[in-house]
Amino acid sequence: MSVVVDIDGTLIDISERLRAAMSLVLDRSVLLDDVRSMTTSQLYETYATEEQREHLPVLHERLWNLLLCEDELGFSLLRHDVPIPYAAEVLESWSTTNKVAYLTGRLDTTREDTLRQLEGFGFPVDNTELIMFERADYSGARVASVGPRLIDVRSKLFSAIARNGPVLMVVDDFPGYFEAYRRHDVPDLIGFRRFARRPVQSYIDNGATSVIGCWSELSNMQSPPP
């Protein structure tokens, strides 16, 4: 029996890291409130100069490289990450009766840093599984006509988890991935919506069974029933 959880935006708040990366790419200060309320496209529209807008693919490539730590500078930006309140406590209680599987879009090249970060923030790491993306998985996201879509990669990785045993619950902050999760017999598909950037209905439409805004809403559930 396992519980599958996303990392960035679900367990760890990366808003400040994204703000720092976007500020570096655009060479100007980007407000944290805007990062939390706008999509990446909206941030470019708001902050990019007219000249920068003519080179958005290049700027976006640099942003990807920073966030995925393809650029070495990206590793230093990890210091901006902070744990989302109550998430570690809830997962620790669940891990006593169920296996925790972390399913993340972070690259496998950041495995050691990610495990160190999770442990430092108090998340369980013993007897857990960390499933990560490979560099090639992002080819479709970087260049739309090349490679698999991110949801296809996510679906493949999640299917592999499900083949190893029943999945009791999924918690994820990205609505689009629930399309992949709902193809499996998972009792609870929980959308984590901490900021208003994504509408509640987008989670439900894609298959989420419920939507929460804080991990404390799950704190009374000591662990999903085995």
89: domain CATH number is 3.40.50.1000
Q: Quick check: helix, strand or coil at residue 188? A: strand
Is there a single domain that holds both residue 199 and residue 94?
Answer: yes
Confirm whether 67 is domain-assigned.
Answer: yes
Choosing from 80, 105, 137, the residue where a domain stops is 80
Give the model's pLDDT for residue 72: 95
Under 8 Å between Cβ of 4 and 162: no
Which tops the pLDDT comparison, 205 or 221?
205
Is there a single domain that holds both residue 57 and residue 87?
Answer: no
d(CA 35, CA 14): 10
Confirm whether 225 is domain-assigned.
Answer: no
Instruction: Give the lowest-confidence range in 38-47, 48-57, 98-107, 141-150.
Output: 141-150
Under 8 Å between Cβ of 93 and 82: no
pLDDT over threshold 60, residue 146:
no
Confirm whether 50 is domain-assigned.
Answer: yes
Is there a single domain that holds both residue 108 and residue 146?
Answer: yes
pLDDT over threshold 80, residue 141:
no
d(CA 80, CA 17): 5
Confirm whether 226 is domain-assigned.
Answer: no
Is there a single domain that holds both residue 54 and residue 111?
Answer: no
Confirm whether 182 is domain-assigned.
Answer: yes
Is there a single domain that holds both residue 191 and residue 134?
Answer: yes
pLDDT digits (tens, 9 = 90+) for 5-56: 999 999 999 999 999 999 999 999 999 999 999 989 999 999 999 999 999 9
* Number of domains comprising the chain: 2
pLDDT over threshold 90, residue 147:
no
d(CA 215, CA 128): 19
Confirm whether 108 is domain-assigned.
Answer: yes
Is there a single domain that holds both residue 58 and residue 92?
Answer: no
Is there a single domain that holds both residue 163 and residue 213?
Answer: yes
**Chain centroid to CA 69: how far?**
15
Quote the domain boundaries for residue 57: 15-80
Q: Quick check: helix, strand or coil at residue 189? A: strand
Please give the DSSP secondary-structure letter assigned to residue 28: S
Confirm whether 107 is domain-assigned.
Answer: yes
Residue 1 pLDDT grade (very low, low, confident, very high; cuts 50, 70, 90): confident
Confirm whether 223 is domain-assigned.
Answer: no
Choosing from 63, 80, 97, the residue where a domain stops is 80
Is there a single domain that holds both residue 9 and residue 19?
Answer: no
Is there a single domain that holds both residue 205 and residue 176?
Answer: yes
Is there a single domain that holds both residue 163 and residue 116?
Answer: yes
Choosing from 31, 50, 80, the residue where a domain stops is 80
Is there a single domain that holds both residue 182 and residue 120?
Answer: yes
Give the model's pLDDT for residue 144: 45
Give the model's pLDDT for residue 140: 61
Is there a single domain that holds both residue 129 and residue 213?
Answer: yes
d(CA 159, CA 152): 10
